[in-house]
Amino acid sequence: MVEYRATEVEHIDLKVGEVCRLESLRQAVVPPYVMIIPFIELPVEIEFVKQEGLEEDGIHGSIFTLRALKPGGGVLRVGFRDLQKGNVVIEKSISFKVRQ
């Protein structure tokens, strides 16, 4: 299984049916980032399988397991939302391609 870190990757290349893990951005639990949660927004070509927390204290973040469903390309977004207001406070766009 291929593993990526959102902080280090600009493009993800997958084959249909391939499963990968994507570590979200990381953010220390310090004001004003105390009440935030990680999010991922995926296009129809990629399926969300599961989300796991990071095994580190004092750091916000998750590991997303994803599966490529069908050929295509575009952009996915990862980042953090304010838990109380729901607005995006940090985000990154990552291009992707799913091939046969």
Count other C-beta atoms under 10 Å from residue 20's C-beta: 19
Q: Which pTM does this prediction carry? A: 0.94
Closest listed residue to residue 61, CA positions, set 48, 80, 42: 80
Domains and CATH numbers, the chain: 2-99 (2.60.40.2020)
Closest listed residue to residue 21, CA positions, set 62, 57, 59, 55: 62
- The pLDDT assigned to 97 comes to 98
Query: Is the CB of residue 61 less than 8 Å from the CB of residue 23?
Result: yes
- CA torsion through residues 48, 100, 1, 57, sign: negative
- The pLDDT assigned to 55 comes to 87
Identity of residue 4: Y
- The pLDDT assigned to 92 comes to 98
- The pLDDT assigned to 39 comes to 98
pLDDT means per 10 residues in the chain (100 residues)? Answer: 96 98 97 96 98 94 98 98 96 98
Report the distance separating Cα 98 and Cα 87, nearest Å: 29
